[in-house]
């Protein structure tokens, strides 16, 4: 039986993966403790998970799943549990690099899309009073 000695270079990717999985487990524990069994999460929930103020998360879209684009087309911004879990697989630093790697025009388009929200219902016609 031969034993192989591993170098630091061999262990670095394994350690990085271990840290990523450890972070994911910590966040899962926080989610379960803080929120219980929920199917969706809002901006305030994400801020609490990240350990940031709500305004910080709002001003740094790379801290939000899908860079702030909601899973639901109308109402408050919310994300499904699956989306949040997938988002948490990468570190905030990775998301920040991705965000700043996107063209400025595309970032602006994404920001305006998330701020537009639901369109008002204009199908009703108000009758004038005589």
Residue 68 forms part of a structural domain: yes
Residue 11 forms part of a structural domain: no
Residue 4 forms part of a structural domain: no
Residue 86 forms part of a structural domain: yes
| 79 neighbors 67 (Cβ within 8 angstroms) | no
Residue 89 vs residues 7, 49, 55, 111: alpha-carbon distances, Å: 26, 13, 23, 23
Given 3-state DSSP classes, what are the helix, strand and coil percentages for the chain, each rounded to the nearest 5? Answer: 60, 5, 35
Residue 37 forms part of a structural domain: yes
The two tokens of residue 47 are 């801020």
Domain that residue 35 falls in: 16-113
The two tokens of residue 98 are 């991705």
The two tokens of residue 9 are 């270079």
Number of domains composing the chain:
1
* pLDDT digits 0-9 by tens, 33-57: 666 667 888 999 899 888 899 999 9
Residue 76 forms part of a structural domain: yes
pLDDT at 63: 94
Residue 10 forms part of a structural domain: no
pLDDT at 79: 92
């Amino acid at each position: 039986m031969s034993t192989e000695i591993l170098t630091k270079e061999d262990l670095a990717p394994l350690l990085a993966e271990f840290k990523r999985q450890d972070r994911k487990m910590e966040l899962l524990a926080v989610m379960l403790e803080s929120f219980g069994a929920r199917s969706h999460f809002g901006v305030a929930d994400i801020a609490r998970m990240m350990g940031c103020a709500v305004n910080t998360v709002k001003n740094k879209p790379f801290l939000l799943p899908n860079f702030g684009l909601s899973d639901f087309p109308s109402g408050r911004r919310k994300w499904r549990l699956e989306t949040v879990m997938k988002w948490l697989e990468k570190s905030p630093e990775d998301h920040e690099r991705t965000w700043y790697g996107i063209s400025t025009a595309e970032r602006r388009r994404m920001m305006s899309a998330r701020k537009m929200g639901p369109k008002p219902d204009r199908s009703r016609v108000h009758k004038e009073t005589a």
